Amino acid sequence: MTYILRRKSVILLICIFFAGFIGPALMGGHPSDVVGAPFARPVWWNSQLPLSSEYSVGNDGAVIEWKKLPPEIFALNGKITADPGSRVRIIWSTTEGDMLLDTLEGSGIYWINMDGRDMIFKQKLGLPLIGKSTEHLFPSNGRYEIRIEGASETDLILSLPGGRQGLLGTDQRGRDILTLLIYGIRTSLTVGISATLIASLLGLGLGLATGYIGGWFDSAVMRAVDVLLSIPTLPIMMVLAGLWGKGLWQLVLILSIFSWMGTARSVRALVLTVRESPWVEGLRALGAGRGYILWRHLVPEAAPILLANVALGVPGAILAEAGLAFLGLSDPRLISWGRMLHEAHSFGAFTEGAWWLLVPPGLGIVALCLIFMDIGRYLEEKIDPRLGSAKNA
């Protein structure tokens, strides 16, 4: 079995597996945490855009040297303590003059929660209500300063999330795409593998049963296979997802109901040929029971086929899961690649031109599918060496 570990696709799959199941634990933080501005680009894209930065603002204020395009968001949060009698002024001194952000009076403690995107904030400063306030707060490159006047103790944080954030940028809510992508691995792998496993076991069981029992049972199951193969599966899965709910395990169940047919067919064909073979007839003549023949001879015979079938079936399940999630028929709390594409599609990735919302999950799906296809083909060739040469002949 060690030769299989040398296959590149297998090594890659193992890496992805670890990234998906251990990665989340190492990363810390939750994927739904907002870490940056919405639609922030990947850090390696367009270096004109600033990275996110944070400044702690004390009594002396803070000085900022700005050399990039304006940040996406201007947010000031924290606490100011002052003598109730004195008047506190927060001043933003720009290259083109000072702006009075706020005047505070009549209390001992002030909680500051300022966001440049608020309408009230824009109104107060007399900025246009439509458009980014940061373009007016950062009119050009140069020296900026935030000053607090009249405070006895200042404990503020000025955060300036930039247009670049994280290795793969952020989505429409400012969540980190890389984190989402890594959390999505788990969903894709879980759904893909478990749905295919269940479907294959179902197919194995039904294939063995139909091949061995035959008669009306065989024809009934084979009719069902014909029917299921000639119904468009996506619509019926959509209906089922709508009726049964959209949870992870409902999805697995729905997918496995519609993907056992192929396995059942090939196992049945195998059983039919093996059953007629001289050595099984010999066994029967020796008095071996049905169960014995099934378990000792047919199952081992079917196992390698099943293994290849599982590997070749996973891409289909992953694609189907992604399709349903893309249509919005998955649990919104469940992070998956299809869901990411759904959100990108529904929440303005196109108006923003945010390709970084589309490409990582899409390529993730493609990569996983290609990996499983490769493993499946490899297994198939190992089982039946003629296949490999026949395909290229």
Partner 1 sequence: MNRRWFWGRILSSIGVLAAVLVLNFILFRIMPGDAVGTIIDPNFSPEAKDRLRELYGLDKPLLEQFFIYIRQMLTFSFGLSFLSRKPVWDELLSRLPGTLFLMASSMAFSAVIGIWLGIKAALNRGRLAERIVLRAGAITASFPGFFVQLVLIMLLARTFPLFPLRGSVSIPQPTGAVSVTLDYLWHMALPVISLTLMGFGGWALYVRNLMVKALGEDFVLMARARGLSEGRVIYGHAFRTILPPIITILLMSVPGLVSGAVITESVFSLHGVGTFLLEAVSGHDYPSAGASFYMLALITVISNLLADIAYGIADPRVRVGGRDQ
Stretch of residues binding partner 1 (CB under 8 A), selected from 5-13, 214-222, 270-278, 358-366 = 358-366
DSSP notation for 58-72: BTTBEEEEE-SSPPS
Which CB sits closer to partner 1, 21 or 355?
355
Question: Which 277-336 residues touch partner 1, going by CB under 8 A?
Answer: 315, 319, 322-323, 326-329
Q: Report if residue 49 touches partner 1, rule: CB under 8 A.
A: no
Residue 93 contacts partner 1 per CB under 8 A: no
Q: Distance between CA 312 and CA 377 in Å, rounded?
A: 7
CB of 359 to partner 1, least distance (A): 7
Q: CB of 60 within 8 A of CB of 219?
A: no
Q: Is 222 in the site for partner 1 (CB under 8 A)?
A: no
Asked if residues 304 and 291 have their Cβ atoms less than 8 Å apart, the reply is no
Alpha-carbon distance 163 to 40, whole Å? 5
- Looking at this protein, which amino acid is placed at residue 39? F
Q: How far apart are CA 182 and CA 21, in angstroms?
A: 9
Interacting residues with partner 1 between 224 and 263 (CB under 8 A): 224, 226-227, 229-236, 238-244
Q: Which is nearer to partner 1, 128 or 353 (CB)?
A: 353
Applying CB under 8 A, among 15, 109, 370, 383 the residue interacting with partner 1 is 370
Looking at the Cβ atoms of 304 and 323, the one nearer to partner 1 is: 323
Nearer to partner 1, 205 or 362 (CB): 362
Q: Which parts of 122-151 interact with partner 1 (CB under 8 A)?
A: none
Number of residues that bind partner 1 (CB under 8 A): 43
Residue corresponding to tokens 């002024």: 89
**Token digits of residue 345:** 């599609």
Across-strand partners of 311? none
Beta-carbon contacts of residue 381 (< 8 Å; ≥ 6 apart): 387, 388
Give 119 or 363: the residue with its C-beta nearer to partner 1: 363
327 burial type by CB count under 10 A (0-12 exposed, 13-18 middle, 19+ buried): middle
Closest to partner 1 by CB, 108 vs 353, is 353
**Residue entry with tokens 């899409």:** 362
Listed ranges 15-23, 27-35, 54-62, 351-359: which one lies at the site for partner 1 (CB under 8 A): 351-359
355 binds partner 1 (CB under 8 A): yes
Task: Tell me whether residue 90 or residue 310 sits nearer to partner 1 (CB atom).
Answer: 310
Q: Which is nearer to partner 1, 25 or 243 (CB)?
A: 243
Q: Kindly report the CA angle at 326 between 324 and 328, in degrees rounded to 5?
A: 75
Contact predicate 321/185, CB 8 Å: no
Pick one of 366, 383, 384, 385: the residue that binds partner 1 (CB under 8 A).
366
Which residue has 């944080």 as its token pair?
Answer: 157
Interacting residue ranges for partner 1, rule: CB under 8 A: 223-224, 226-227, 229-236, 238-244, 315, 319, 322-323, 326-329, 341, 344-345, 349-350, 353, 355, 358-359, 361-362, 365-366, 369-370, 373
